[in-house]
Structure 1
Amino acid sequence: MFKNYLKIAWRNILKHKVFSSLNAGGLALGIASFLLLMLYVTYHYSFDKQFDNINNIYLVENNQPGDGKIYTFAATPQPLAPTIKTEVPDVVRAVRTITYTAEGLLTYKNNSFKKSGMFADDGFFDIFSYKFIAGAPANALKQPNSIVITEKLAKTLFGSEDPMGKIVKRNNQLPLQVSGVIEDVPSNATFKFEFILPWIMFEDSNPWAKSSGWGSNFARTVVQLKNPGALPAANRIMKGMVGRHAEGNKNVLFLYPFSKLHLYSKFEDGKSVGGMIDQLQLFTTLAICILLIACVNFMNLSTARSEERAKEVGIRKAIGSSRSSLMGQFITESVILSMLSTIIALALVVLSLPYFNQLLGLELVLPYNKPLGWLIIAGIGVLTGLIAGSYPAFYLSAFEPIKVLKGMFKGGKSALPLRKVLVVVQFGFAVFLITATICIYKQIKFVQSKSTGYDKNNLVEIPIEGDLSKNVNVLANQLKSSGAITSATVFQQSINESGSNTWGVSWPGKRDDETILFDIFRAGEDFTKTAGVKLLQGREFSAGNPADTAGTTVLINESAQKVMKLKSPIGSIINWGDTKLTVVGVYKDFVWGSPYEKTRPMITPFANNGNSVMAMRLNPDRSITANIDAINKALKTVNPFYPPTVNFADSDFEQKFKDEKLLATLANLFGCLAIIISCFGLFGLAAYAAEQRVKEIGVRKVLGATVFDLTALLSKDFLKLVTIAIVIAIPVSIWAMNQWLQKFEYRISLSWWMMALAGLITVVIAIATVSYQAIKAALANPVKSLRSE
């Protein structure tokens, strides 16, 4: 029987090539969109799942009260890890890690490569089950001069040589012995590195870290428990740990599951409130909706052909076919068509995946070597066929043979209300996606158009590494003399990367119960001139001023002046911990962290040493290419062992909008696909409507109806449905986008024109889709349609 079903189904598909093509094309686009989105979603859900004991691994998070709320971050004190091992039962291991100072130049023989790394305590590889190609995890980080490298880095440094035991130099100074080689770190891992160094090496190169106490937060602490059931007891002990070791410190530590870190990284008032999971839920919903739209197309086109299939159903029922066998026949047809669409969809995914990966900056791949993955894809195809064919099967198999064979049946009417509802749902979803795309783009443009407080254009940053740390002034003077730059300064960290902050600032008149978090941005002389920050009062730092070089002066931003209520800030004395600082200048607020958040009060001490960035203002009277060539040439002279690296401040600033731009791009891309799929169905329905009314059109044309009249006649019913879709979708869009906008401190207000534009675009698309068939029918020769009358 099943063989017979297949044969009849295949004949029906071939007999109605246009409708079959529209159905297959719509389903293929729907399934391809679904697969692409789910590949992206699955990639993020699989973060860190490669580790064997991931459910027993935790990251220590730090809740810090202040400004009337609780700030949560993963930076913890240096003594925390050994204290946890001592005071918390059921802890297997606790290790410290740090990444921001580990990047460096690795040299073997005459080859040097700048690579990213991290520092970690011995025991890191006992917690995280990285696969070792050479060496053993138990002793990989025991020696203070050891280094563990990835397989890719091993090939880069040593080629075909055995890397074990080889000596490499870090930053052209410190000799390191390779103690292990691990498989390359996958892109869906929280810790990303190409090499790992022992923690003791970090302390040796940063003496302050070894002696730092419970008030200094800079390390990430990873803890392994015996089992997840030990978590509540461990968190009860950790809750007051900082206070027990540092009297008066109100920080509260807690263990947070490492497996949730990627998806649930956003905290408000000390509690997890989401993060990446919000975006994934949105994309999952989008994927399901697009697939359902494709299924809706199938249902619409199948039920629209009801009159054509009615006689077939009537004859088969008259000769004894049961309703269940007819349903089986129609379901089989839809599943076959769906499986064909799935094959086409896979081809589309293979062709589009490289461009999709380039868009996302990821390495998504189909599960070629995973049978389960192919079973899931096949299951999606079958399930889509069952969903798409379910209503047509119930509807078509319900025809009464007596009415059909007597000619009393008029197909399509009983299915008409549902078809109308489905068309409304399709285009309502299209209106929502268009509105969302417009809103997201406007929000991004709104924040981008806000003043950053500094001049991004012609501002570049160079990492201070190797010999450059002692040649900063030499390089600056050389480039000024050559005319490549107009000014230069140093920062402790990039102007585009927020970092250090403190609660320890006090000033005259500060209340005892007042706790304000201040950003700390260290900078050298010519800071405001180079960065393009407006100096409102006072003066710049000067290397020739003894007070500046002694570290007893400070610049503050205007937000700090407002918080401190300093009417005459220049000359005021403020305290940073036990250090008294004299305010010598006030500068305009600039965006340091997220451009979506309000600027915090900031202090800028003079940067004497330990700086990581040299900033330079390019000469606008020369070409950028000439300026950069001059900088690269000079860098090779003063810092010959390091490859020149020049970062443009405007490009780095744009990276802050990466997530929102990705959301807008995906909404735009898959919104267009959803509209195209909807148009497939509308095109098919318009074609069928024109076919059903061919004699009516002929009569009207003979009686004098114009092409415009006939086109309007065939289009008005569909435009009514699209109008209803717009009316329903607009309030839903307003509610949803207002909810999304609430997470931004600086946000746009939804305007009526956004809804109007979304509705207009939808109407134009619908008219363009329907009009082709309507005009084609209106232009047809009425003689051909009426010759049998």
Structure 2
Amino acid sequence: MFKTHLIIAWRSLKKQPFFTFLNIFGLTVGMAGGLLIALYIYDELSYDQMFTDAEQIYRLDADIKFGGSENNTAVLPAPMAGVLESDFPQVEIATRFRTLGSTFVTKSGTLQKVKLSRTTYADPSFLELFGIDLLVGDSETVLSEPNTVVLTKTAAEKFFPVDEALGQTLVFDGGDIYTVTAVIDDLPRNSFLSEYSLFIAMEGYADAKIAHWGSHNYNTFVKLKPNTRIADFDAALPTIVKTYVMVWAQTVFPGVTEEQFAASGNYIRYSTIPLTDIHLHSQRTGEMSANNSIQNIYILSFIALFLIVLASVNFMNLSTASSLKRAKEVGIRKTLGSNRYTLIQQFLTESGLISFASLLLAIGLTLLILPYFNDLSDKQLSLPFMSPGFWLMLLSATILLGLFSGSYPAFFLSRFSPIKVLSGNGGSAVGGGKLRNALVVFQFAISVFLIVATLVVYGQLQFIQQKDLGYEKNQVLIINDVYALGSKTSTLKEEIRELALVEEATLSGYLPTPSNRSSNSYFEEGVSDQEKALSMQTWAVDHEYVATLDLKILAGRDFDRERPADSSAMLINESTLKVLGITAEEALGKRFYSNMVDTDQEFYKVIGIINDFHYESLRETINPLSLVIGENPGLMAIKLNAGDFSQAITQIETIWTQLAPELPFNYYFMDASFDNTYQSDQRLGKLFVIFTVLSILVACLGLFGLAAFNAEKRTKEIGIRKVLGASVGQISFRLSVDFLKLVGVAVLISLPLGWYAMNKWLEEFSYKIEVGWWVMALAAFLAVAIAILTVSYQSIKAAIANPINSLGTE
């Protein structure tokens, strides 16, 4: 029987090549889009799952409000890990990381320096906690001594063969010598440690041994014992504040109590986050790697679901659109003895055949698109052909999709009355109009929603690109790793400043685009009350910093090389004034100090007020910031004059090579670094555009099918109207207006939903656009225009048909 169904299904599909093509094309697009998104989501959800007992590993976070600023950090004080192991019986093991950024490393006995981009201090326990095996080395002694390191396989091979790595010595850019005690395999790309290649013994880092509870610099992880309730562990964390943090605070603020601290509106709260949740649920200061957002996953999941459902709805509409042609077939088969169950089997076989054909084409289309999709999403996705689970899920989903897509047409076509359809009243036998209309409304509601989302995402990205950031990011070249030149950094800067194509240059590791930064607590001279503390970032810069970045001096003056006293001067931003509640004139001349423990405090005198500039993502508000004169030559920012940038870069590289031939020359432009800050949002915007276009395409197929069905059903009506004098335009309008009503209903449903959803998305940004009426109007216009273009072909085709043929269909 199945073979018979299959043969009949094949013949039936061949008889209607156009509708068969539309069905297969729609399902192929939907399945390929869904498959791509599924691969992306699976990769995102798999982050950090590979570590042993990953479900028992947690990172500790801190939420702090002090000195007028609120900070949500992924880093904790140095002594936290030791306290967790000693005071909390639930903790099996704890470990810390103190990230460093890039490091230049030279193999002893050679001159060529190799840059390892992501390096970190680490406790030896990190290997045990995460279950990382050694390729070579002794797990009992690794990282237990100062000046020892662990390398990843790829990093080790830059210096020597892996099996010869133990005992080899490396010279760091500061001149310190380190011994290799172990090599580990490269860490998986979907782990938070994937970019780290050098792990340095924490034992040799003096700051890690200081019981300073006010400094937060260490990513701290714990592995809890089996069957530990995380809620019980979290409930005990506040005792750390009372037992340790407040005791330390009393050495800084004598007599302060926890109650006074809280009464000032300040707080310190420690919490945990599962290791496997970090990538999608954490966007804190001090993250060890770039994270995504679970909201993006939800959005893409809905898009994938919508694409597949839209494709299924198309199948239903296109199948019912051709139902008049199948009506007589059903009538004859029922007359000859076929029962409804057999007919349902027949039609489901047809839908199954289309689904499997679409599956094969979808896999081919996915393979074709995957390289471009990987470039767009910054992934290394591939189809897991060797995984039985992949094929099981794919085949199961295809069968379900075939049943879902074919269920309505099967039950719809199989219920035709043979008497009606064989007597020539097939048109009246074909019903189901309300359901088909509802499906079209559903399709276009989704499409309009995605149009709104796309317009808002791109509007926000354009706003970010065009917003006045308060500093100059164009034509600014950044040279990396300037600190590695040591005493030659000043020479580098002065020689570069003399170039004709260079307007100005500054040496500082602090830049508005991503760079090293942290906050300090400041107090006005004569004040020591914790309630009046000012939490403020302090950037060490040189005298040319303000001019290079084109910052604005709103009051007072800039640093002056001719004034030696400026070594203890300070520039503050407008936000500092707001927190202090004073005017610029009142702030000038005030003196602030930071180190309350030191009896010989260093005071900084405010000499100028600079404009607020966005040194954080536009998701964050601008917080208090100060600039002071200091040595921090991690980077060099060079403001270029208009002209040949390639020539300027060549000249700068020549100077670099002359001063440090053993060091690689690395540079980037500040505007590119700024764009990278919003890379995930830009990817989301591009994905929105692609899948919105696909959803509109699939929805249009459904509308096209319904238009074909409607035109075929109203053949005689059209013929009569033409005989009575109706014009082609009048008939086309009458055939189209019914569909425009459906699109109008879809617009009314989707616009409020789109407005609400995108306003929720924009809440992530402190500086954002408003979802204006024009966004809603443009989305509605596009939906109506697309619908008119889709329907017009069938309407005009029916309107220009010869009425003799229409009226002769009896």
Quick check: 2:482–2:489 contact (8 Å CA) kept in 1?
no
Write the distance in 2 (CA, Å) between the matches of 1:48 and 1:367.
19
Provide, for residues 318-376 of structure 1, a one-character-per-residue CA deviation record: whole Å limited to 9, x for no partner. 34433333222222211221111111111111111111111111212222222101211
Residue number among 731, 743, 746 corresponding to 2:764 in the alignment:
743
| 123-132 or 249-258: bigger deviation | 249-258
Quote the residue 2:638 is aligned against.
616
Deviates more, 1:282-291 or 1:137-146: 137-146
Matches within 5 A, 1:167-566: 167-171=169-173, 173-200=175-202, 203=205, 207-211=206-210, 213-247=212-246, 249=249, 251-266=268-283, 276-410=293-427, 413-465=430-482, 467-497=484-514, 499-506=517-524, 513-514=531-532, 516-542=534-560, 545-549=563-567, 552-564=568-580, 565-566=582-583
The answer (yes or no) to whether the contact 1:167–1:178 under 8 Å persists in 2 is yes
Distance (Å, rounded) in 2 between the aligned partners of 1:384 and 1:119: 51
Which has the larger displacement, 346-355 or 58-67? 58-67
Bigger Cα displacement from structure 2, 458-467 vs 623-632: 458-467
Q: How much does 1:153 deviate?
A: 3.2
Structure 1 residues 376 and 252, CA, compared in 2 at 3 Å: closer, same or farther?
same
Residue 265 of structure 1: how far off its partner (Å):
1.1
TM-superposed CA distance for 1:46, in Å, is 0.7
Residues 108-142 of structure 1: per-residue CA shift (max 9 Å, x gap): 85654322222211121111123544445444433
2:116 maps to which residue? 115
Tell me the secondary structure at the aligned position of residue 461 of structure 1. Answer: strand
How far did 1:81 drift?
1.7
Structure 1 residues 173, 412: closer, same or farther in 2, change over 3 A?
A: farther
Give the Cα–Cα distance (whole angstroms) in 2 for the partners of residues 290 and 508 of structure 1.
66
Q: Which moved more, 1:658-667 or 1:337-346?
A: 658-667
Amino acid at match of 1:452: L
Q: Residues 472-530 of structure 1: CA distance to partner in whole angstroms, max 9, x if unpaired?
A: 21111111223242322222333212631133444678986345432222212122111
Q: Cα 1:756–1:88, aligned 2, differ >3 Å: closer, same or farther?
A: same
- 1:166 deviates by 4.3
Distance 1:328 1:255, change over 3 A: same
Q: C-alpha offsets along residues 651-684 of structure 1, whole Å, 9 cap, x if unaligned?
A: 1112222232222222211111000011112223
Match of 1:271 in 2: none
Shift in Å, 1:190: 1.4
Contact 1:148 1:197 in 2 (8 A): yes
Evaluate the alpha carbon distance shift between residue 540 and residue 72 of structure 1 in structure 2; reply closer, same or farther with a 3 A threshold. Answer: same
Q: Which residue of 2 aligns with 1:644?
A: 665
TM-score, scaled relative to structure 1: 0.92
How far apart are the structure 1 equivalents of 2:11 and 2:171? 72
Could you tell which deviates more after superposition, 63-72 or 495-504? 63-72
Q: 5 Å matches for 1:550-699?
A: 552-564=568-580, 565-566=582-583, 567-578=585-596, 579=601, 580-608=603-631, 610-620=632-642, 622-699=643-720
> 2: CA distance between counterparts of 1:137 and 1:776?
78
Q: Give 1:696 deviation, angstroms.
A: 4.5
Q: In structure 2, what is the Cα distance between the partners aligned to 1:122 and 1:182?
A: 13
> 2:264 aligns to what?
none
Q: Match of 2:100, SS? A: coil
Contact 2:145 2:203 in 1 (8 A): no
C-alpha distance in structure 1 between counterparts of 2:356 and 2:167, whole Å: 55
Q: Which amino acid aligns with 2:126?
A: F
Displacement of 1:573: 1.3
Amino acid of the structure 1 residue aligned with 2:271: F
Q: Secondary structure at the match of 2:510?
A: coil
On the 8 A contact 1:555/1:585 being kept in 2, the answer is yes
AA of the residue aligned to 1:556: I
Q: Distance in 2 between matches of 1:788 and 1:408?
A: 11
Change (3 A) 1:782 1:161: farther
Matched with 1:78 is: 78
Q: Structure 2 CA distance, aligned partners of 1:228 and 1:504?
A: 44
Whole-angstrom CA distance in 1 between matches of 2:86 and 2:178: 31
What corresponds to 1:728 in structure 2?
Answer: 749
Distance 1:134 1:159, change over 3 A: closer
Structure 1 743/197 Cα, relative in aligned 2: closer, same or farther at 3 Å? closer
Deviations 1:722-772 (A, max 9, x none): 222222222222222233233332222222221221111112211212222
For structure 1, which runs of at least 5 residues remain unmatched after alignment? 269-273
Per mean C-alpha deviation after superposition, the further-off stretch among 129-138 and 556-565 is: 129-138
Structure 1 residues 161 and 125, CA gap change in structure 2 (3 angstroms) = closer
Conserved? CA contact 2:61–2:272, under 8 Å: yes
Change (3 A) 1:470 1:350: same
Instruction: Return closer, same or farther for 1:528/1:70 CA change in 2, 3 Å cut-off.
Output: closer
5+ residue gaps, structure 2, are 250-266, 286-290
Residues 503 and 517, structure 1, Cα contact 8 Å, conserved in 2:
yes
Change (3 A) 1:475 1:37: same
- Please state how far the C-alpha of 1:398 moved relative to its aligned partner: 2.2
Distance across 2 between alignment mates of 1:327 and 1:515: 77
Q: Report if the CA contact (8 A) 1:123-1:138 is conserved.
A: no
Task: Indicate the SS of the match to 1:410.
Answer: helix
Q: SS state of the match for residue 497, structure 1?
A: coil
Q: Are 1:48 and 2:45 an aligned pair?
A: no
Deviation at 1:785, TM superposition (A): 4.9
Deviation at 1:391, TM superposition (A): 1.3
Q: 1:385 to 1:138 in 2, by over 3 A?
A: farther
Q: Is the alpha carbon distance of 1:111 and 1:341 closer, same or farther for their aligned partners in structure 2, counting shifts above 3 Å?
A: farther
- TM-score scaled by length of structure 2: 0.89
Deviation at 1:267, TM superposition (A): 7.6
Deviation at 1:175, TM superposition (A): 4.2
Paired with 2:309 and 2:373, the residues of 1 have a C-alpha distance of 22
SS in 2 for 1:77: coil
**How much has 1:68 moved relative to structure 2?**
7.5
- Where 1:617 maps in the other structure, the secondary structure is strand
Q: Which amino acid aligns with 2:131?
A: S
CA contact (8 A) 2:519 2:538 kept: yes
Q: Distance in 2 between matches of 1:537 and 1:319?
A: 96
Q: Offset at 1:701?
A: 4.2
Q: Confirm or deny: 8 A CA contact 1:298 1:388 kept in the other structure.
A: yes
Alignment of 1:49-68 (within 5 A): 49-66=49-66
Counterparts of 1:495 and 1:542, CA distance in 2: 22
Question: Is contact 1:239-1:254 (8 Å) kept?
Answer: no
| 1:467 Cα deviation from its structure 2 partner | 4.1
How many residue pairs end up in the alignment? 777
In the TM superposition, residue 15 of structure 1 has moved relative to its aligned partner by 1.7
Residues 5, 329 of structure 1: 8 Å contact kept: yes
Offset at residue 41 of structure 1 (A) = 1.3
Partner of residue 777, structure 1:
798
Task: Report the aligned-residue RMSD.
Answer: 2.8
